Structure 1
Amino acid sequence: MALYENEAAELLRRIENGDFAGRKTLPQIRDLAKARAVSTSTIRTAIALLEQHGYVRRVRGQGTIILPPPPARRTITLPGDLPHEWTADATRSTQPAPASVASILATAPGASIRCHQRVTVPPGEPPLVIADTWLSATADEDALDDAIPTRQTVTARAATRDHARLLEITPGLPVMEITEVRESPDTGRPLTVTVCVLPANRVQISVDSERGGCGT
């Protein structure tokens, strides 16, 4: 294990043990480095690692803010519906689709198409799921329930600023992205592409290939 990883583990242990109770921020980097007899660059890298995992957040002019522990991890089965007691903020719009979505739906790059967005919030917790469902130009919204899920992909990436804002996390933190394509049972053409984005430190994904849906 690298030295900065050891220092990150030690800082996390102290945070979880309440050694910094009563403080909103960590001590200054030079003080932490002096106390541990390591370089300031080692402590700076250790703090960056903790920030990547959502334990702290560095804010210019304020220092390194200690974040509250994330809620317990939830197991989400995809495809499948989210629990009914979870609230969802739903919006509908027409906007340019991402290039990956436009390619699947055979839409010209940059063309505006229909998009349904749901931001799902478990009771007493920050938002957990952003689900953007993009509809092809020929999709009949009344017939979408008959569409057949044909493939899913799961990707790990860093949160964009927009997704971080909606999920109430720091931009750049790891998120999981699940993309599902649904096709017409009559023509076999893609009708919808749903992209679900979830904070990686709050969920574990269980995939059930016998069911349909992507949390929308």
Structure 2
Amino acid sequence: MSQFQTIIGRLYGFAFVADLTYFLGYRRSIWYRAAVALFFLYALLNIHIPLMIVSGLLLVFTFWVFWLAKRSGYVTFITKTDVALAPPDDSLVKDQRVAVRATGLFSVVNRERYLVQKSADFWRVGVGDHILMVSNGPNSYLYQFIKPQEILQMSAGTLYFGSRGELAIEVVFRTDWAPSVETEDIAYYVGSGYGGRPLPKRTVYITCDSPDDLRLVWHSLTKLG
């Protein structure tokens, strides 16, 4: 892991925690940005040029970090063309669950949530689709469904979050499992989109403790049906 990637990963990790946790009813990220803005305002009112320059740069940097971290999903993925995920000794059988960590947008009925490196179960069902299920509290789960025919892109590479980099799979796909897709749209969806529009596009990242499990997931996703 390069020094630059380490710094970016830690900044993204800091932004993730700040956006996720609250203090006195407001996200910590709001407090941090407000504090830097007040520091700049203080320098401005006192017409302290050196302090204005420093606080102004800090203000721009702080807002930029939080904006970029959120836009990037708090992670960085670098595709590795030299990574070869060899076929596993045994294929993933239908309904066999694999313990993974998942990053991406997950949904249930009328709500969705973005999760980062969350423990999840991955398995293949009878029709050839794949399911990612993540815990969202006691007896509460969020899901993402990946249909093989809707996969747009798959890449292997390194996923960076915080100070850690891990071998991961990036899956870009279209899905009808999203709050924006109504039941009627799903029922009449025949491949051309819903309501005259393309289905929502999602990106998920999958990591595993075991390289063998990651190979199992990769080759299962590349199967059709």
Choose between structure 1 and 2: higher helix proportion. Answer: 2
TM-score interval, normalised by the smaller of the two chains: 0.3 to 0.5
TM-score by length of 1: 0.34
TM-score by length of 2: 0.33
